[in-house]
Structure 1
């Protein structure tokens, strides 16, 4: 029998989990109903039975899991246990595209029917879609009776298309099947010598890393290896790229070019073939656009992209202004963004499409951070001369999000840990901050790629990994990049089981079940526990939602003052702060800190014409999250410049870097309309302002 994409995804989740997973967790991860999970489990168990493997097991009160025997067989299938995977339409199109680009001699309806296991009619429809996708990239797919399918277009376009295809395939988390099929086309794994070549290419890439002073992500090494082998194959077939002289001049000044020259020479020696100079330049583009896990930031970085650091500094400044926060260790954030944005710059410059499987999750869960990042992105767009894709914005938002969620340690370290993550600096930092903020006394001593982890010797108490790692002496807790409430509960429960009294790990629903059991007969404990988990997960607001009040919760009528004019900006700040002082939401020291900040840093609080948002650090005297407003008929000047006068002065008293973001995001949305600003200024009393804000939020 065949497993479809969804069933294979579920099997993969169970295979890579080191602990049992509850029905609630599976419903969340799969984003399907409980009934669908049960249906897929039946298919998986039938498939396992067909392979003479134990079915999915259920641990009472804990969840579902695969026995080690099943995991190992699935992970390394023997020839006699070969099985058929049901490719999704997108995966079929990827296979057909790869076949046309890498195996044109086999490009036929019959061949595609054999590798995708679907009918001629289905393949025909897929080919029509592939033809459109090629056309959108500047390639023409045609069919002639005598010659068959022909793909025509510039060799550079074909290589970039393949590069994008590799990135897409390597980012697929549902199944390894599509990945292995594409790799088979590239590596031709039938021969042992090709296996040796695979390791040779990777080893040469590791040497190139050292030349460039950086560490590529694990996924990037795989993608680059595929690109290099494809390049060698195309050179043998005399399918060569060309690079214009202007680009050569720019590329030759980069450190990546030196790495590409060294790599080309090594490839020539190992494979006894000539690498044309044009190919070395094209290889430079691939190296420049590669995601990194670490970058040593030598002086050459500044020489390559002198303007990029200034762009990053402006983005950080704007983000802090719009978010009304002050980052600690700004230089470290600047360096992290530099390591990420340097390859981003070259990806944009050379039209390399990014792949970010978490972008939609980032936009959904960290919507305020994503929108704040969007407001700063124009600096980068101006610098690179093109619009920034949503996937790249999401990656940048990860960096800012990691810094926003950082909290100063106020307890001594109890556990030391490392994070293993193959997806680069920003993703690793996001995982790090989520864990350190969640587990009291946890210190993350390092973030490692899988390669670095295998060489890591320092003792730690626990390993957190976004990839499947087989536990050895040190316990491993597998975590997703974006952790939902149930993921956090799972981590805390495992930490309790590892380091605390196991009885403390009992969930609230398990305790409720034990209480019910004292007074009633329960016929199916596991099913009832799963239903309770689902019920309370759906009915109870998440902690994040509870902690982030709406704008209307903060800006109530008693916090609004209406005046015609003031003598100067200092009086405006004091009058705007008065309601919060009266409520003891802030101390007088906070008012003085806001005024002093303007004196020292200038009128940065005037975020737009007619609007100022005075604020200072929480430790300056904030007792609770609060907001107030002073509306002036006559503008007050925060400097001599016209752009620094304001009539709406919103005082924000934040208790941390996150809790105020929802309210601030809603306020920003309202103030993005000139009409709304004018209406607020023309309002006659507090209640009219409150009503106007409520109406605007309803319209959003």
Structure 2
């Protein structure tokens, strides 16, 4: 029996862990279902038995565990791995496979052909086909059936391609669907060409894509290369059977002006020569649409058109400005974030324009672990919506949130850089940078010297002490730690523990314990010196493994009876800021210098603090005089003017004293959620006493 790569990845996670791992944690880390985890563990145990090893232990209440004796015996690098394995498809996987077969086969398909390819009973296939019909309807397609000939899909070629594209986006870009990718390749080409997971046609197509990349002066992500290769296999198959798309002439004229059309033309020329098939101009434009929407690992702005440069830069600048205003943060390297964001929203713009779907496999994880950043991103993407003329889906918003999150750095402490790290990530720019920020913020002394795609890693090895990879990789000389793209607290604890095991020797803990003992001996009598040293050493190790989670207070913890004031009026906006800030000065949360800094900001930058009708949010940089995190609220019966314009009047003045770019985000996101409802704003303005204000705040 040969162990496949996915299960080798799962086994490597267990090998690295110093304690049992629960099934739920494995599903979150690996992005696959609980059902698949248990199925894979059974297969791994069969493989272990074939190698005369003991099975993985399932410890009740704790999770799956490999004993130390077994870990020492297993070295995955010594075994040949394969992508092939026997797998029973779930319902959602079967439905996607049926859709792909129906839309890529030249002839009508019989029930027996479905049974043979999916390995399920007739009754199961019949139920699945009913659900396939429902999905087809959403794309204005029909499932036609003839008793003598079988099944086929009827409808416009553009609608068929759109459904295929979205189906493949799900399959190719979501890690949970990796199990059926090779099955797809067998559907797109003769089975005799598929040997040991190697698809000659696909590999040739990837060569053509790489040539086009060089012409575009960008680098696509690994997942985008895979996605594009399979889309091209589909185009060749559809064109070869006489199925063509038709693109509007005006749209074709626009597409032909882009650099991506030249790249599409090059790819299609190579495909035409390789497959001996004539490819119409509309198909080249169709490919151009897809190329424009692909995520990139690296981009070169010098090859953007003037329209793209000016339009997208304005969108990025407005989004960043609003994010800073709404989240009350300052991006020190604003130019870097701007370029980073442009490189992402360019393909986002074209995906939305041409209805090209992207994967949503990280959305729930981003919303859960970075809910505040997602909240503020949701508010600022209106600028991109206006530019595109379409609403932004959650999955696109989530990936934009990664870019903001990756540039929200904590107040940096001066630490000696101890370890050089390499990140190998198959995702895009935002995901990679977010992972870099998470790891450098987590591990003191970690210096991420490079971020590489899988292709770059295989071509050019970077000197590093440790590699963090989102995918399984083989590396004999440098330790590899497999990580998800978005780290939960559980992930962080495991990573800390693994890094500590790699680089922190027991002797260091022992020396520290000895030092503590010598201090204790000056003031107390020690009865059992050795056991006390061992206990202190153990305690030090455990503390190194624990996450010191950044505490983010809730709104109700900051806006309390002592920080809320209800007044009738003040003389002007300067007095409004001074009065609103008074509770924070009294509590020693801020200094008088901070109050003056807020006033100076308005004088210098204008009435930017008025973030919505009747609401002002004055603040300044933490170094201007913040002693600790704080927030205060002043309600005025008579509005105060921050400028001569009507829109710059405010009755609610909320002073924020932030200590960094992150700690205040939870409370601020709750505040903005509350104030986004006009009824809530009016309730605050009409409040007769502090208790009424607190009742409303306690709902958030």
Q: TM-score scaled by structure 2? A: 0.87
Q: Residue 661 of structure 1 corresponds to which residue in structure 2?
A: 665
Task: Pick the aligned partner of 2:467 from 463, 466, 476.
Answer: 463
Q: Residue 10 of structure 2 corresponds to which residue in structure 1?
A: 13
Q: Deviations over 1:393-451 (max 9, x none)?
A: 11111111112245435223222212110111010011010001111121212211111
Distance 1:245 1:63 in 2: 68
Task: Pick the aligned partner of 1:76 from 79, 82, 86.
Answer: 82
Task: Pick the aligned partner of 1:119 from 118, 121, 146.
Answer: 121
Q: Residue 30 of structure 1 corresponds to which residue in structure 2?
A: 27
Q: Deviations over 1:256-300 (max 9, x none)?
A: 111112222233333443222111111101110111111011152
Bigger CA drift: 401-410 or 611-620? Answer: 401-410
User: 1:351: Cα distance to partner?
Assistant: 0.9
SS in 1 for 2:257: coil
Bigger CA drift: 13-22 or 46-55? Answer: 46-55
Q: Deviations over 1:292-318 (max 9, x none)?
A: 111011152443463222122111111
Q: Residue 528 of structure 1 corresponds to which residue in structure 2?
A: none
Distance 1:335 1:550 in 2: 33
Distance 1:467 1:301 in 2: 35
Distance 1:63 1:505 in 2: 24
Q: Residue 98 of structure 1 corresponds to which residue in structure 2?
A: 100
Q: Deviations over 1:1-27 (max 9, x none)?
A: 9x9xxx998875225666136434543
SS in 2 for 1:481: coil
Distance 1:252 1:259 in 2: 11
Distance 1:490 1:217 in 2: 27
SS in 2 for 1:595: helix
Distance 1:502 1:187 in 2: 56
Task: Pick the aligned partner of 2:176 from 168, 174, 194.
Answer: 174
Distance 1:471 1:577 in 2: 57
Structure 2 gaps of 5+ residues are 58-64, 511-527, 532-541
Alignment of 1:280-359 (within 5 A): 280-304=284-308, 306-359=310-363
Distance 1:437 1:310 in 2: 31
Alignment of 1:85-484 (within 5 A): 85-105=87-107, 107-174=109-176, 176-191=178-193, 195-304=199-308, 306-405=310-409, 407-408=411-412, 410-484=414-488
Distance 1:479 1:152 in 2: 44
**Are residues 360 and 624 of structure 1, via their aligned partners in 2, closer, same or farther at CA, if it must alter by over 3 Å?**
same
Residues 56 and 67 in structure 1, CA contact (< 8 A), matched pair in contact too = no
**Are residues 392 and 418 of structure 1, via their aligned partners in 2, closer, same or farther at CA, if it must alter by over 3 Å?**
same
Residues 496 and 504 in structure 1, CA contact (< 8 A), matched pair in contact too = no
Residues 494 and 505 in structure 1, CA contact (< 8 A), matched pair in contact too = no
User: 1:365: Cα distance to partner?
Assistant: 1.8
Structure 1 gaps of 5+ residues are 507-514, 519-532
Q: Residue 527 of structure 1 corresponds to which residue in structure 2?
A: none
Task: Pick the aligned partner of 1:632 from 621, 632, 636.
Answer: 636
Q: Deviations over 1:171-195 (max 9, x none)?
A: 3423643111012222435227984
Residues 53 and 70 in structure 1, CA contact (< 8 A), matched pair in contact too = no
**Are residues 440 and 213 of structure 1, via their aligned partners in 2, closer, same or farther at CA, if it must alter by over 3 Å?**
same
The count of corresponding residues between Structure 1 and Structure 2 is 656
Distance 1:350 1:9 in 2: 33
User: 1:49: Cα distance to partner?
Assistant: 6.9
Distance 2:165 2:271 in 1: 19
**Are residues 165 and 63 of structure 1, via their aligned partners in 2, closer, same or farther at CA, if it must alter by over 3 Å?**
farther
Residues 17 and 468 in structure 1, CA contact (< 8 A), matched pair in contact too = no
Residues 11 and 44 in structure 1, CA contact (< 8 A), matched pair in contact too = no
Distance 1:24 1:52 in 2: 23
Q: Residue 524 of structure 1 corresponds to which residue in structure 2?
A: none
Q: Residue 568 of structure 1 corresponds to which residue in structure 2?
A: 572
**Are residues 562 and 272 of structure 1, via their aligned partners in 2, closer, same or farther at CA, if it must alter by over 3 Å?**
same
Distance 1:21 1:172 in 2: 28
**Are residues 346 and 68 of structure 1, via their aligned partners in 2, closer, same or farther at CA, if it must alter by over 3 Å?**
farther
Q: TM-score scaled by structure 1? A: 0.87
Q: Residue 60 of structure 2 corresponds to which residue in structure 1?
A: none
**Are residues 169 and 211 of structure 1, via their aligned partners in 2, closer, same or farther at CA, if it must alter by over 3 Å?**
same
Distance 1:380 1:110 in 2: 49
Q: Residue 518 of structure 2 corresponds to which residue in structure 1?
A: none
Q: Deviations over 1:305-364 (max 9, x none)?
A: 632221221111111111111111111111111111111111111111111211111112
Distance 2:56 2:173 in 1: 29
**Are residues 167 and 556 of structure 1, via their aligned partners in 2, closer, same or farther at CA, if it must alter by over 3 Å?**
same
Q: Residue 593 of structure 2 corresponds to which residue in structure 1?
A: 589
Distance 1:66 1:55 in 2: 12
Distance 1:622 1:96 in 2: 61
**Are residues 132 and 117 of structure 1, via their aligned partners in 2, closer, same or farther at CA, if it must alter by over 3 Å?**
same
User: 1:217: Cα distance to partner?
Assistant: 0.4
Distance 2:672 2:89 in 1: 44
Residues 419 and 448 in structure 1, CA contact (< 8 A), matched pair in contact too = yes
SS in 1 for 2:654: strand
Alignment of 1:530-541 (within 5 A): none
SS in 2 for 1:158: helix
SS in 2 for 1:463: strand
**Are residues 241 and 175 of structure 1, via their aligned partners in 2, closer, same or farther at CA, if it must alter by over 3 Å?**
closer
Q: Deviations over 1:557-580 (max 9, x none)?
A: 111222221111111111111111
**Are residues 40 and 151 of structure 1, via their aligned partners in 2, closer, same or farther at CA, if it must alter by over 3 Å?**
closer
Q: Residue 510 of structure 1 corresponds to which residue in structure 2?
A: none
Distance 1:671 1:322 in 2: 12
Distance 1:578 1:209 in 2: 59
Bigger CA drift: 66-75 or 639-648? Answer: 66-75
Bigger CA drift: 490-499 or 475-484? Answer: 490-499
**Are residues 356 and 132 of structure 1, via their aligned partners in 2, closer, same or farther at CA, if it must alter by over 3 Å?**
same
Residues 607 and 613 in structure 1, CA contact (< 8 A), matched pair in contact too = yes
Residues 374 and 393 in structure 1, CA contact (< 8 A), matched pair in contact too = yes
